[in-house]
Structure 1
Amino acid sequence: MNAAQFQNAMIVCMIVGFAVMEWATRRYKTNVHATSNDTKLELLMFLSLLAVTQPLAILATSKLGAAFFPDAKGMLADLPWWGMVGVLLLADDMTQYWWHRLSHSPLLWPLHRAHHSAEYMSIRVTFRNNFFYYLMMPGLWFGGALLYLGFGGMVYASYIIVKLFVILGAHCAWRWDEPLYRIRALHPLMWVLERTISTPATHWAHHAITNQDGVGHYKGNFGNLLFFWDILFGSAHITRQYPAKVGLIDDKLFGQERWYHQMFFPVLQSRREHSALKFGGTIYAEPEEATKAS
């Protein structure tokens, strides 16, 4: 089994494992109330990322590298594993933190709001986004460039596996960190862990429908693999609690946007009142917590 096959096999196992835990703990049945609109968006975004966006980034960077930097191909293949991991954390995970953070600005919010429009947390939400959000994500293109420079093999595969394990776990309906907080002996470990990687408590807060309960923090907690970026750049909020509700207040008031508007804006634009998914549209912001794009 080569590195790519190992990576894909582990990713499938992780998805199945988290899905089983969502069902076994009954968290999926009691908390995930998805519509057909949700299912279409999540399924098609997952397939498009897998079949279009990632392969395109890898192919394009490979072709560009061969055309303009042929001597650079594989030049970093002999870098030690810890060096590769350090570069990946900066070029992939830190850039994703900043891309995510910038995507909560008024200009880029329409490309990311689909991820927040789910009224539930589950592994099925993990890749729920706008098509162009991923197409423009710097980390995907840096990743393709690093593969061209020789970052293949088990180091890259292991990095992807660990990162997806953390991200899936942070979105999972099964809140794996919740029982660990209740074990007094684990408090020091959890203090370090929740400041190092994304956990359900910190990431669910990012998906909260309001900040007014002191738990929600949709203007922070942007980290994907490392929550440390939030600590470092001042956007962290840690409560060890979970928001009562997640989603978007404008969807509650005016109905959910159609999946194709969420996925393909700005090519396809909404006709809904108070919509970020149309040029010149406005987001309903009467309640203070409704302003999700600021």
Structure 2
Amino acid sequence: MIKAAFDPVTLATPFFILTVILEIALARFGKLEARYETKDTAVSLLMGLGSTLAGLLTAGASFAAALWIYQHRIFTVPMTAVWAWVLVFLLEDMTYYWFHRFSHERRIWWAAHVNHHSSQHYNLSTALRQTWTGGVAGTWLLWLPLSLLGFPPAMVAIQKGISLVYQYWIHTEAIRRLPRWVEAVFNTPSHHRVHHARNPRYLDRNYAGILIVWDRMFGTFQPELDEEACRYGLVHNLGTFNILRVAFHEWIGVTQDIIRSPRHVLGWLFGPPGWSPDGSRDTSASLKAAWEERRKAPIAEREAA
């Protein structure tokens, strides 16, 4: 099968818009917890529209690459088999975990992903604040091994769409905690609030798409704590609703760094966000280390007394 039978994201788009409106309305009447700001929401919606248009420009190249890889596949996986859908669900979800993790750990992919974290609010519209440059950055490359294994590109595309639709509803403060078994297995609003938080304790945690088990397996899980509320946005917030700055500010920063010090180009591109040759900038690791020192200081002082 060459062409996807349907696109889950396209089918779900009216639902996205209606539920954003519903969340705003219910919050206004005090029926649920949700914080919206008009300009912030407008940026999120425009980023979503721009992401859709940008995706159309690169979708052909990425799908053609997947088709070429599929022609050299190791196995042939039938789209009609239930076991094949279970397997592609697990493998695609693990692929998403690593894509998402690399998008936080490598600056070139962070430049494409950072706009999704740029809102200081956390609501359903935040889910729509998507990248304009992910296709150009080559984030789709990580899914090509699935076609090499023998999964039809259309099958992979459908499963990717299902994953994105799932991740929409977890962008909310209206849902606090779900039953323990759900929180143990699936990505939930509670887990994803942690992922969007800029608190040092919460930085670079909970990369899951659908299953939170990957974070538990690979050591990146962090539960949301009642004693520490999530603060949203970037470590250094933009302070603007200029959509072009939201979309491209990190790419501009990368370019400026390379021009300023071209011999460190590999570090600027593939180091962690905040990397610098002299270590003078904040990285997630340095912020966590500083927070840990502050946390331990009162304990050490009490023990000394």
Percent identity over the alignment is 21
Correspondence list, 1:246-261, <5 A: 246-251=232-237, 255-256=239-240, 258-261=242-245
TM-score normalised per structure 2: 0.65
Q: Determine the C-alpha separation between the residues in 2 that align with 1:68 and 1:289.
A: 41
Q: CA deviation at 1:141?
A: 5.0
**Residue 199 (structure 1) aligned with residue 200 (structure 2):** no
Query: Which structure would you say has the larger Rg?
Result: 2
Q: Determine the C-alpha separation between the residues in 1 that align with 2:34 and 2:7.
A: 35
TM-score normalised per structure 1: 0.67
Q: Determine the C-alpha separation between the residues in 2 that align with 1:143 and 1:56.
A: 19
Cα displacement string for residues 79-138 of structure 1 (whole angstroms, at most 9, x for unaligned residues) = 513323322431x32222112212222634333322222110012211424423354223
Q: CA deviation at 1:258?
A: 4.3
> For the Cα contact (< 8 Å) 1:201–1:240, is it kept in 2?
no
> For the Cα contact (< 8 Å) 2:67–2:147, is it kept in 1?
no
RMSD: 4.4
2:122 corresponds to: 121
Uncovered stretches (5+) of structure 2, i.e. residues with no partner: 257-272, 292-305
Give the counterpart letter for 2:105 in structure 1: S
Question: Could you say what secondary structure the match of 1:171 adopts?
Answer: coil
> For the Cα contact (< 8 Å) 1:260–1:268, is it kept in 2?
no
* Structure 1 residues 81 and 45: alpha-carbon distance in aligned structure 2, compared to 1, 3 A threshold: farther
1:230 corresponds to: 215
**Residue 218 (structure 1) aligned with residue 207 (structure 2):** no
Q: Determine the C-alpha separation between the residues in 2 that align with 1:245 and 1:225.
A: 23
1:111 corresponds to: 112
Give the counterpart letter for 1:243 in structure 2: A
Q: Which has the higher helix share?
A: 2
> For the Cα contact (< 8 Å) 2:193–2:230, is it kept in 1?
no
How many equivalent residue pairs?
262
**Residue 172 (structure 1) aligned with residue 172 (structure 2):** yes
Q: CA deviation at 1:14?
A: 4.8
> For the Cα contact (< 8 Å) 2:62–2:140, is it kept in 1?
no
Q: CA deviation at 1:204?
A: 0.6
Q: Determine the C-alpha separation between the residues in 2 that align with 1:128 and 1:291.
A: 30
Cα displacement string for residues 134-193 of structure 1 (whole angstroms, at most 9, x for unaligned residues) = 5422378549959x953647x975x45652343112112422x44x5xxxxxxxxx2221
Question: Could you say what secondary structure the match of 1:170 adopts?
Answer: coil
**Residue 39 (structure 1) aligned with residue 24 (structure 2):** no
> For the Cα contact (< 8 Å) 2:58–2:135, is it kept in 1?
no
Cα displacement string for residues 233-275 of structure 1 (whole angstroms, at most 9, x for unaligned residues) = 1111124647242122422xx7348432331356544999xxx
* Structure 1 residues 269 and 4: alpha-carbon distance in aligned structure 2, compared to 1, 3 A threshold: same
225, 228, 231: which is aligned to 1:245? 231
Q: CA deviation at 1:67?
A: 6.0
